[in-house]
Structure 1
Amino acid sequence: MTTMTSIDAEEWREHRPVVFGVAYRLLGTVADAEDVVQDTWLKAARADLAEVRDLRAWLVTVAARRSYDLLTSARARRESYVGPWLPAPLATGPDAAEPVLVDDSIGTTMLLALENLTPEERLATVLNGVFDVPYTEIGELIGKSAAATRQIASRARKRMAEVTTVHDEHSTVERRRILDAFKAAYEDGDLARLVALLHPDVVYTTDGGGKVNAARRIIHGADHVARTLLGVSVKLGDRYREAEFNGTANFYGFRGDALTSADAFTVDDEGRITGIYRVLNPDKLSHLA
Structure 2
Amino acid sequence: MEPSGAPAGADWQSHRSAVFGAAYRILGSVTEAEDVTQEVWLRAAAADLSDVRDLRAWLVTVAARTSYSVLKSARVRRESYVGPWLPEPLLTVPDAAAQVLVDDSVGTAMLVVMETLTPAERVALVLHDVFDFPFTRIAEVLGSTPAAGRKLASRARARVAAVKERPRASRAETERLLRAFKAAADAGNMAELVELLHPEAVYVADGGGRVTAARRPVHGAETIALLAVRQIEIRRPDAFQIIEVNGQPALATYRGGELVWLDTVEIADGRITTLRRLANPEKFPHIGHI
TM-score, normalization by structure 2: 0.93
The amino acid that maps onto 2:9 is: A
In structure 2, distance between residues paired with 1:193 and 1:100: 37
CA distance in structure 1 between the partners assigned to 2:286 and 2:83 by the alignment: 22
What secondary structure does 1:287 align onto?
coil
Task: State the SS of the aligned residue for 2:286.
Answer: helix
Give the deviation of 1:179 after TM superposition.
2.1
The question of whether the paired residues in 1 share the 8 Å contact of 2:203 and 2:276 is answered with: yes
Q: Distance in 2 between matches of 1:39 and 1:249?
A: 31
Q: Which runs of 5+ in 2 are unaligned?
A: none
Q: Does the alignment pair 1:62 with 2:30?
A: no
Give yes or no for the alignment of 1:104 onto 2:110.
no
Counterpart in 2 of 1:148? 148
Q: Residue 18 of structure 1: CA displacement? A: 0.8
> 1:94: how far off?
4.9
Question: Segments of 4+ in structure 1 off by > 4 A?
Answer: none
Alignment match, 2:281: 282
* Counterpart for residue 207 of structure 1: 206
Residue 54 to residue 103, structure 1, CA distance change in 2 (3 Å): same
Cα offset, 1:256, TM superposition: 2.0
Q: How far off its partner does 1:203 sit?
A: 1.1
Contact 2:104 2:164 in 1 (8 A): no
Q: Identity of counterpart residues, as a percentage?
A: 52
Alignment partners' CA distance in 1, 2:133 and 2:242: 35
Q: What is the deviation of 1:175?
A: 2.1
Residue 218 of structure 1 aligns with an amino acid whose one-letter code is: P
Aligned to 1:192: 191
Alignment of 1:24-173 (within 5 A): 24-94=24-94, 96-162=96-162, 164=163, 167-173=166-172
Q: 1:182 corresponds to which residue?
A: 181
> Which residue pairs with 1:19 in the alignment?
19
Q: Is the Cα–Cα contact under 8 Å of residues 265 and 274 in structure 1 kept in the other structure?
A: yes
Q: Kindly state the Cα deviation for residue 261 of structure 1 after the two structures are TM-superposed.
A: 1.5
Q: CA deviation at 1:95?
A: 5.8
Report the 3-state secondary structure (helix = DSSP H, G, I; strand = E; otherwise coil) of the residue aligned with 2:241.
strand
Local SS of the residue matching 1:261: strand
Q: Which residue of 2 aligns with 1:271?
A: 270
Which residue is 1:224 aligned to? 223
Superposition pairs for residues 247-266 of structure 1, below 5 Å?
A: 247-266=247-266
Separation in 1 of the partners of 2:164 and 2:137? 31
Distance of aligned partners of 1:199 and 1:252 in 2 relative to their CA distance in 1, 3 Å threshold: same
Cα-to-partner distance string for 1:21-51 (whole Å, 9 max, x where unaligned):
0111100111111110110010011111100
Describe the SS at the equivalent of 1:48: coil
Distance in 1, matches of 2:38 and 2:196, equals 43
Taking the aligned partners of 2:68 and 2:21, their CA distance within structure 1 comes to 14
Contact kept? 1:92, 1:247, Cα under 8 Å? yes
* Contact persistence 1:166–1:266 (CA under 8 A): no
Give the superposition deviation at 1:282.
1.1
Q: Which amino acid aligns with 1:264?
A: T
Would you say the 8 A contact 2:240–2:253 is kept in 1? yes
- The answer as to 2:26 corresponding to 1:9 is no
Deviates more, 1:56-65 or 1:180-189: 180-189
Asked whether the equivalents of residues 174 and 265 of structure 2 are also in contact (C-alpha less than 8 Å), the reply is no
Q: CA deviation at 1:223?
A: 0.5
- TM superposition shift of 1:98: 3.5
Distance 1:18 1:214, change over 3 A: same
CA contact (8 A) 1:24 1:33 kept: yes
Aligned residues: 283
CA RMSD of aligned residues (A): 1.5
**TM-score, length basis structure 1:** 0.94
- Cα deviations across residues 189-208 of structure 1 (Å, max 9, x unaligned)? 21110110101111111111
Aligned partners of 1:6 and 1:50 also within 8 Å: no
Alpha-carbon deviations, 1:244-270, whole Å to 9, x = none? 1010011111012111211111111x0
Question: By how many angstroms is 1:77 displaced?
Answer: 0.6
Q: CA offsets per residue over residues 91-135 of structure 1, 9 Å max, x none?
A: 112562232210000011100111111111111111111111111
